[in-house]
Amino acid sequence: MGDQPIWITFIVTFAIMTVLLLSMAYTTWYERKVLARFQDRLGPTRTGKAGLMQPLADAVKLMGKEDLVPDAADRNVFLFAPLITFTTALLSAAVIPWGGTVQIFGTDVNLYPTDINVGALFILATGSIGVYGIILGGWSSGNRYSLLGAIRSAAQVISYELILGFSLVGIFIITGTMSLTDIMFKQHEMLSFGPFEISNWFVLTQPLGFVLFVIAAVAETNRAPFDLPEAESELVAGFMTEYSAMRFALYFLGEYISMIIMSLFAATLFLGGTSGPGADKFWGLGIMWLVLKVMAFLFFYIWLRATLPRFRFDQLMGLAWKVLLPLAILNIVVTAFFRLIGNGQVF
């Protein structure tokens, strides 16, 4: 880990962005396929082999559609709002590590765009700006369904962001750092129990934190069963009711990017990131493990969507403030207590 020429950072960032944007398109395909299997259907089959060209066809279709602005809309805010959601979702990828410093063609390359000492908080911060896209989009549409979706989203994201942040405090207490790179490499260490050696993934030491994080992450990305901002059966499509063409696609893709980012974030924090058999010998294997973990998370997201019905709004708020928040605080207290025992400052 160290400084590198800025052109290498540009190349790494470019590669990560390309991969992220492509995988975002193919996450839509993945979701449609997996969801179809859950519902005993085939999903897309016509465009290309196994429907693999479907995302491209969708992109062409969406770009060719008319970009409508309703009469009642606040025009400038309406046009600007989708960009906020999309760009902030992409921005959070800047701090997620895909490995350490490796040698490629004899040059030292950091497999992360940047490593700031508050990386974990940075992702929370970009997420909290991203909610403005939803709120402003809903408000500026001049439609009461959109406004309702926006208001629901504001309340939901504020509540669950708190839990998302609190569920990470346990890890910060254990590692003493907020840099995602440091947190990831702490998990590459091995714990030995007699003849057995297992990786020190934080899901083992922070199981409650992990559960809280996953619940809050699903709510934060507005996915089922927490998709109240866009509940079809009540609000038409919530905050995106009035959007069409590429602006609709920006919201849609922003949601998928934040799903991928949240999966990367969870894999980095709790499942060891790139750690796995052989990852310390070849960096490519590490990336493969990270991708596998992310795909498992995405599968879990889709599984939830296929299984659970939507929450009622009062249940959603009750769950956040009366159940998850006390549990998160309990997790912090217990972790801090064990950390003090580990330091020999108690007993």
Partner 1 sequence: MSWELVFFAVFSAAMLLCGLGVVAFENPVHSAVALVGSFINVAALFVMLGAEFLGVLQIIVYTGAVLVLVLFTIMLIDPTKLPEFYVGAPLQRFASVVVGAILLAEIGVAIITRTALEQIGPHTEAMVQQMGGNVQAIGQVMLSEYALAFEIASLVLTVGVVGAVVIGLPNRMVEPNTVTMSLGHTRGSSDMLAAGPKFESPMNIPAERYTAPVGERTVVMTKDPDAYTHPGETSK
Which residues contact partner 1 by CB under 8 A? 74, 77, 116-118, 121-122, 124-125, 127-129, 131-132, 135-136, 139, 147, 150-151, 154-155, 157-158, 161, 165, 178
**Closer residue to partner 1 (CB): 29 or 139:** 139
Residues in the chain: 347
CB of 126 to partner 1, least distance (A): 8
Beta-ladder partners of 109: 102
**Closer residue to partner 1 (CB): 157 or 267:** 157
Do the beta carbons of residue 110 and residue 15 sit within 8 Å? no
End-to-end CA distance of the chain: give it in Å, rounded: 39
Do the beta carbons of residue 136 and residue 81 sit within 8 Å? yes
SS3 102: strand
CA dihedral of residues 158, 164, 168, 170 (deg, nearest 10): 90
CB of 264 to partner 1, least distance (A): 19
> DSSP character for 99?
S
CB of 95 to partner 1, least distance (A): 11
**What is the Cα Rg of the chain in Å?**
21
Q: Which residues contact 200 (CB under 8 A, 6 or more apart)?
A: 186, 187, 188, 189, 190, 191, 272
**Closer residue to partner 1 (CB): 53 or 69:** 69
SS3 279: coil
**Closer residue to partner 1 (CB): 146 or 187:** 146
CB of 132 to partner 1, least distance (A): 6
CB of 116 to partner 1, least distance (A): 6
Distance CA 124, CA 236 (A): 29
Cα→Cα distances 145→80, 117, 132, 142, Å: 19, 41, 17, 9
Beta-ladder partners of 101: 110
**Closer residue to partner 1 (CB): 169 or 271:** 169
**Closer residue to partner 1 (CB): 62 or 116:** 116
What is the maximal distance between C-alpha atoms in the chain? 71
- Residue spans of beta strands (DSSP E) within 134-195: 190-193
CB of 294 to partner 1, least distance (A): 24
**Closer residue to partner 1 (CB): 107 or 117:** 117
**Closer residue to partner 1 (CB): 47 or 175:** 175
**Closer residue to partner 1 (CB): 150 or 316:** 150
Which ranges of the chain would DSSP assign to H, the alpha helix? 6-38, 54-64, 75-91, 119-140, 144-175, 180-186, 202-205, 207-220, 232-235, 245-270, 283-307, 313-318, 325-343
CB of 258 to partner 1, least distance (A): 14
CB of 61 to partner 1, least distance (A): 32
CB of 227 to partner 1, least distance (A): 19
Do the beta carbons of residue 123 and residue 92 sit within 8 Å? yes
Q: What are phi and psi of 47, to 5 degrees?
A: -85, 100
